């Protein structure tokens, strides 16, 4: 094959421009392969109990940051607690989806009051809520408390009000809740998820 001087220059020019393009970053990229970064690496792990049913599975809540003063925590992930004797790391579909429960836009975050006959719920303060509950309880207990039965035995019953407690309580919270309800003479005492 005969290559003239002019043709030789053309070949050189093509070679130089091609290699320059490669150096400028237009070369095919390396086939990098790396797994997604482990998202819990330096998050804060907090133990808690699933709020749903009475099984009371242990959960681990992972939040951003290390709890330092200027970094407010934000929950980014929840999974089962492998050290919890109840579930040993497992969670049902509801428990596995707790993150969206925590961050749900319709989550109730403060007490609300709907007056008899009213259609609207009205936001009230915790103080108002507690005061109202205590007042109504006291009124009802004063009116309906049964100290002695027909035979004259002391019974100290209060059967016109019941209490529904949370299922996700610890043993200690459950003990205190029980003490409060029973010391008032309350008999109707149940759990929100006794299923």
Return residues touching other proteins (CB under 8 A).
1-3, 7, 10-11, 28-39, 77-80, 82, 87, 89-93, 95-97, 99-100
In 10 A of CB 157, how many CB atoms? 15
CA-based angle 75:90:166, to the nearest 5?
Answer: 65
Instruction: Please report how close the Cβ of residue 97 comes to other proteins at its closest, in angstroms.
Output: 5
- Identify the residue whose tokens are 């005061």: 131
Return the beta strands (E) in the chain as ranges: 44-49, 58-63, 75-80, 112-113, 122-123, 146-148, 154-165, 186-191
Instruction: Please report how close the Cβ of residue 1 comes to other proteins at its closest, in angstroms.
Output: 6
Q: Which is nearer to other proteins, 85 or 93 (CB)?
A: 93
Q: Which is nearer to other proteins, 42 or 143 (CB)?
A: 42
Q: Which is nearer to other proteins, 81 or 181 (CB)?
A: 81
Enumerate the β-bridge partners of residue 164. 190
Q: Which is nearer to other proteins, 79 or 177 (CB)?
A: 79
Instruction: Please report how close the Cβ of residue 61 comes to other proteins at its closest, in angstroms.
Output: 12
Q: Which is nearer to other proteins, 91 or 181 (CB)?
A: 91
Instruction: Please report how close the Cβ of residue 31 comes to other proteins at its closest, in angstroms.
Output: 3
Instruction: Please report how close the Cβ of residue 122 comes to other proteins at its closest, in angstroms.
Output: 31
Whole-number Å distance between alpha carbons of 17 and 12: 9
Instruction: Please report how close the Cβ of residue 188 comes to other proteins at its closest, in angstroms.
Output: 32
Whole-number Å distance between alpha carbons of 58 and 91: 9
Q: Which is nearer to other proteins, 34 or 120 (CB)?
A: 34
The CA radius of gyration of the chain, in Å to the nearest whole number, is: 33
Q: What is the DSSP letter of 30?
A: P
Query: For 24-28, which contacts have Cβ atoms below 8 Å and span 24 or more sequence positions?
Result: none
């Amino acid at each position: 094959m005969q290559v003239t001087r002019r043709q030789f220059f053309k070949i050189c020019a093509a070679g130089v421009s091609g290699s320059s393009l490669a150096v400028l970053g237009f070369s095919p990229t390396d086939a990098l392969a790396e797994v997604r970064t482990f998202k819990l690496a330096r998050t804060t792990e907090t133990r808690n109990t699933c709020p749903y049913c009475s099984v009371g599975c242990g959960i681990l809540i992972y939040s951003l940051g290390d709890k330092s003063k200027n970094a407010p925590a934000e929950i980014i992930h929840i999974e089962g607690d492998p050290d919890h004797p109840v579930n040993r790391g497992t969670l049902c579909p509801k428990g596995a989806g707790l993150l969206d429960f925590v961050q749900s836009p319709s989550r109730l975050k403060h007490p609300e009051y709907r007056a008899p006959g009213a259609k609207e719920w009205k936001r009230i303060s915790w103080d108002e809520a507690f005061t109202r509950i205590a007042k109504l309880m006291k009124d009802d207990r004063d009116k309906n408390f049964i100290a002695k039965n027909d035979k004259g035995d002391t019974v100290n019953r209060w059967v016109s009000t019941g209490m529904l407690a949370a299922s996700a309580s610890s043993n200690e919270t459950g003990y205190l809740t029980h003490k409060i309800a029973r010391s008032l003479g309350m008999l109707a005492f149940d759990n929100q998820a006794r299923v």
